[in-house]
Chains A and B, each alone.
Chain A
Amino acid sequence: MILLLAILFCGYFILAGLDYGVALVATGRRELDRIAPFFLGNEVWLVAAIGLLFGVFPADEGRLLGAYRVPAGLALLGVITVTATFGLRIFARPSHADGASGVSPLDGVAKIGGALAALGWGAVLGATWHGGPFSISVPVVAGALGMLAVVGVHGWAFLRRRWAILAATTAVLIGSVAVAGSTITWHPASSTAVDLVAPVAYALVPLLILIQGATWWVFRTRHVSEPSAVRRTGSA
């Protein structure tokens, strides 16, 4: 179960890290649109990860979120800001023109949201590794700033299609989750509860990864907003 939980949390940071990273470094609508088809599927890994945590390690869920509610709350503000600005930006055209470059004031809000999410989750990971009650300690600050940097590069690498760098940031994110998670003493739920949730999780996590992969496959060509070598004849 710990492995499944790790997969979900790593999946969240890798995929939603793209959302926050792109929000941080994007310079306009076309770049934001690159991540748009995947945005929804990326963000929901958080809901699943916390859900599984609640289901199989409820005591730890309460302990961790209760103790680190300040950085988690910060991250949450970032997450909902990015979610809302992406959704509203993409699915509803504001009445005033966006401008030729496709830049809108909402982009700035998305940047702040992405930054808050990265800082907040980094602080949570740092506080988890440090252990004990929450305080603005070195690991917390290092975790926050480190996550901001990694997420920013992560998003940038996605936009520039620098897959090697993307692999590196992915590895760093996995490593951070693993290191923070390894310091936790886990208290599993009763066997009745675990026997209930575990089969569902074991069945669904691979399915969800498969669907995630299918989504990436369906939208593997350039997004509709981009000039596409696949769609037209002539140069892209």
Chain B
Amino acid sequence: MSVLDIARLQFATTTIFHFLFVLLTLGLVTLLVVLQTSWLVTKKPVYERMTRFWGRLYVINYFVGIATGVVLELQFGMGWSGLSHYLGDVFGAPLAMETLIAFFLESTFLGLWIFGWGRLNRFVHTALIWLVAITAYLSVFWVLAANSFLQHPVGYAQGADGVIELTDFGALLTNPTFVVALPHVVFAAIGTGGFVMAGISAWHFIRRTPEIEFFRKSLRLGVVTAFVGIFLTIGAGFAQFGPVGQVQPTKFDGPSRAGAVADFTARFGPGDYAPPVYATIGLGFMILIGMVLFCVGLFIPLLHRDAIIRLQFPLYLLLLAIPLPFIAAIFGWLIREGGRQPFAAYGLLPLEDAITPGLSAGSALASYLIFTVVLAGLAVTDWVLIARAAHRGPAEPTPGALTPLA
């Protein structure tokens, strides 16, 4: 394996790990907004308990999300300093926006939310979760804008030395690879939150939980959210084929692919400009999983008179469905990123110019192995803890800060 392959593998691994946690963070925070606002308005204790239970899972998930995110942020400079050098003027701006406006605010508000139970006024506390959710979505906005630039470079001018300069920031935000991708990612996250909530609730009904009202409400909210999410995800997904096929002609097998390959060969030399096999296979399986998840719509009529619980089999299906949105999302990123290869910025900067110069295969491999082992360990530990907390259910000795301190 060459240094380039190892560096690419590391970046892909880090991104995949990060996104698995981001999906659940975004999905659950949306549901927390619904739950806590319901509590504020109706004052029913069950909504407070639901906010705390699902909030605990959200918080456990968030921490490893941060860990993977920090690694990802620094990996640009560490492993791909060529990207910083050539593209940084444009790529850095939306990334800076994300870290400052979205992520920093989100984490600060979240810290206040976690430890402010009972200390802060109920309105202020509810406003905090709204702010956490809004800033989380702003994060998606900015990161996707940055990634979309790599998919379809716009709004730049290139100097003689190859270094590019930002000329039109608005172009970044009207980039077709951004505008159609954003709803797709957002609804995928919302759907994921729904499927996880529905699946965990289903588990508790299978285990004959005494918390009937609690998990009935969670199950219903989860199923409806899951369906709305997957429905809109699929719609926004198909909507992408047209615009993406136009600006990335080598990504899909269309009439303009041959012309694009010829153009790239002329400008960048001979090379493999077709998307890698894993990307195209990934696309097919992502769509297949999407279709399967779409069937959750059939469970909506079963919500009537709790048939969904009494029939039992829907509960098992919902439980088994939990990993599916995550797997589909990974396949989705494989086609998005894999279809951009062999470019760091499509049609602009080939990968070998983007990598940090002077990287040795040994140091790249060591870095890859160490970080992958650590991140995998964190991910597995985190999921085990989420599973345990989910299994334990909402019973709490005393309310207080959102921790098991009490």
* Known contacts A48-B100, A54-B84: A88-B370 contact under CB 8 Å: no
Question: Does B27 sit at the interface, judged by CB under 8 A?
Answer: no
- Which residues from B are CB-within-8-Å of A153? none
Query: Which one of A43, A79, A88, A201 lies within 8 Å of B382 (CB-CB)?
Result: A88
Which one of A58, A81, A92, A205 contacts B92 once the chains associate, using CB atoms below 8 Å?
Answer: A58
Does A56 belong to the interface (CB within 8 Å)? yes
Q: B166 contacts A84, CB within 8 Å?
A: no
Chain B residues lying within 8 Å of A204, measured Cβ to Cβ, are 100-101, 104-105
CA distance A86 to B63 in the complex (A): 9
B116 within 8 A of A: yes
B392 (CB) vs chain A CBs: closest residue? A93
Grouping DSSP codes into helix (H, G, I), strand (E, B) and loop, the B interface class, with mixed when no group exceeds half, is: helix
A225 to B381 CA separation, bound complex (whole angstroms): 25
Within 8 A of B (CB), among A28-74: 33, 36-41, 43-48, 50-52, 54-56, 58-59, 61-66, 69-70, 72-73
Q: Which of B67, B81, B370 contacts A66 (CB 8 A)?
A: B81
A87 on interface, CB distance cutoff 8 Å: yes
Within 8 A of B (CB), among A1-52: 33, 36-41, 43-48, 50-52
Instruction: Kindly state whether residue B181 has any CB partner on chain A within 8 Å.
Output: no
Whether B298 is near chain A, meaning CB under 8 Å from some CB there, is: no
With A46-B70, A55-B96, A190-B166 as given contacts, are A66 and B77 in contact (CB-CB < 8 Å)? yes
The count of chain B contact residues (Cβ–Cβ below 8 Å) is 77
Q: How large is the interface on A (under 10, 10 to 19, 20 to 34, 35 or more residues)?
A: 35 or more
Knowing A64-B77, A77-B371 are in contact, say whether A88-B88 is a contact too (CB < 8 A). Answer: no
CB distance from A168 to the nearest CB of B (A): 27
Residues from 390 to 404 in B contacting A, C-beta threshold 8 Å: 400-404
Say whether, besides A39-B111, A77-B374, A83-B66, A62 and B95 are in contact (CB < 8 Å).
Answer: no
Q: Which residues of chain A (195-218) have a CB below 8 Å from chain B?
A: 196-197, 200-201, 204-205, 208, 211-212, 214-215, 218
Q: Is the CB of B101 within 8 A of A58?
A: no
* Contact sample, A vs B, 12 pairs, CB 8 Å cutoff: A41-B111, A47-B99, A50-B99, A54-B92, A55-B95, A55-B97, A62-B77, A62-B81, A91-B59, A196-B169, A197-B97, A212-B108
4 other A-B residue contacts (CB within 8 Å) besides A47-B73, A80-B378, A196-B93: A43-B66, A43-B107, A44-B104, A52-B100
**Which positions in A face B, CB cutoff 8 Å?**
33, 36-41, 43-48, 50-52, 54-56, 58-59, 61-66, 69-70, 72-73, 76-77, 79-81, 83-84, 86-88, 90-93, 95, 189-190, 192-193, 196-197, 200-201, 204-205, 208, 211-212, 214-215, 218-219, 224-225
Interface residues in chain B, defined as those with a beta carbon under 8 Å from any beta carbon in chain A: 56, 59-60, 62-64, 66-71, 73-74, 76-85, 87-93, 95-101, 103-105, 107-112, 114-116, 119-120, 165-167, 169, 356-357, 363, 367, 370-371, 374-375, 378, 381-382, 385, 388-389, 400-406
